[in-house]
Amino acid sequence: MVTIGIVTRNIHGWATTQLTRAIIELGHETFPFNFRSLYTEIGESGYKVFSNNVDLGEKLSALIVRPLGRLSFEQAFFRMDTLHLLENLGVPVINSPKAIEIAINKHRTLALLSKSGIKVPYTVVTENVNEAVKRLSFEKGIVVKPLFGSKGLGSFLLKDRDFAWRVLADLRYLRHVLYLQEFLKHGGRDIRAFVVGENVVAAMCRELPGSWKTNIARGAKPKPLKVTEEITEIAVKAAKIVGCDVAGVDIVEVEGEKYVIEVNSQPGWKGIQRVTKIDIAKKIVEYVVKEKIKR
């Protein structure tokens, strides 16, 4: 029997409840705790990381990380540093803090994917409005996204050059970095592949006719999708490049070509669980126990 920690914003949340159930069903001990309960004690003989008086370096055989949420700079560094410190104490962290740092950042992720031969949409990332506008063609539309966004929030579509110039200048003035991407005409449908280790354990189409954002959080409906070899190859490769053991890979298909638009390092699976009989939480826990726990 091993003890698997789950660090989360809400220990009663759906995914944490699913993981807890799976951990217990597989005969192990679960230790869910809140990010806000974390503290590090640093003294003469090094450091220890605790939650609720429990020495996590001693207690945990592995730690599963749920979404960190919207954070201040200090909170983001503290939470990520704490994950790094736990990993340095020998606790396998899933996903690893390094992978989370890459995946959370759409700029770095897309560059790495593209360098490794994964098809991605043409994208310009800059603080310079002139450089951006010069390089983009607005006829088909340009998608503007927050670097660190999720759930489709904060991204929008630009179709007019003058309007684009004005809006981008304002974003620049507010100190945003501009992440600008060619619009792929997908017809209100994309693919989410849920990767665990070397496998896509489930896939779905997300459909929202008349909308270009197909996040479940924006109202898209999940439809079952057969996991093909092609989807597995693309999604597992993308997850690996970013360093994720568990990932939700978003794929847009246009004229038979598949483009990866992002890799989510802390994917939810409530939507995809509705269209598959596979027990996703169990797949995650089985993978952690078999592949990540060494002690």
Contact set for ligand ADP, span 101-130 (CB under 6 A) = 121
* Run of H or E residues at 248: strand 246-254
Distances in Å between the Cα of 140 and the Cα atoms of 123, 125, 161, 181, 227 are 14, 18, 11, 11, 30
DSSP class of 288:
I
CA dihedral sign, ordered 245, 34, 9, 23 = positive
Query: Closer to Mg ion at the Cβ: 82 or 155?
Result: 155
Give the distance from CA 178 to its chain's centroid. Answer: 20
CA terminus-to-terminus distance, the chain:
11
Please list every residue from 175 through 234 that binds ligand ADP, using CB under 6 A: 181, 183-184, 186, 190, 212-215
Residue 28 has φ and ψ, to the nearest 5°, of -115, 175
Q: Spell out the residues 6+ positions from residue 277 whose beta carbon is closer than 8 angstroms to its own.
A: none
For residue 263, the minimal CB distance to ligand ADP (Å) is 9
Count residues binding ligand ADP (CB under 6 A). Answer: 21
Residue 250 sits in the site that holds ligand ADP (CB under 6 A): yes
Cβ proximity to Mg ion: between 59 and 218 the closer is 218
Binding string, residues 134-153; x marks residues near ligand ADP by CB under 6 A: ---------x-x---xxxx-
Which residue in the block uniquely carries the two structure tokens 């954002």? 213
The whole-angstrom separation of Cα 237 and Cα 243 is: 10
User: Of 115 and 151, which CB lies nearer to ligand ADP in the complex structure?
Assistant: 151
Q: Distance between CA 71 and CA 77 in Å, rounded?
A: 9
- Give the x/- contact pattern for ligand ADP in 23-42, rule: CB under 6 A: --------------------
Window 253 to 272, contacts with Mg ion (CB under 5 A): 262
Closest CB to Mg ion belongs to which residue? 250
Please state the closest distance from residue 99 (CB atom) to ligand ADP, in A: 16
Nearest-approach distance from CB 3 to ligand ADP, in angstroms:
32
Binding-site ranges for ligand ADP (CB under 6 A) = 121, 143, 145, 149-152, 155, 181, 183-184, 186, 190, 212-215, 250, 252, 261-262
Binding-site ranges for Mg ion (CB under 5 A) = 250, 262
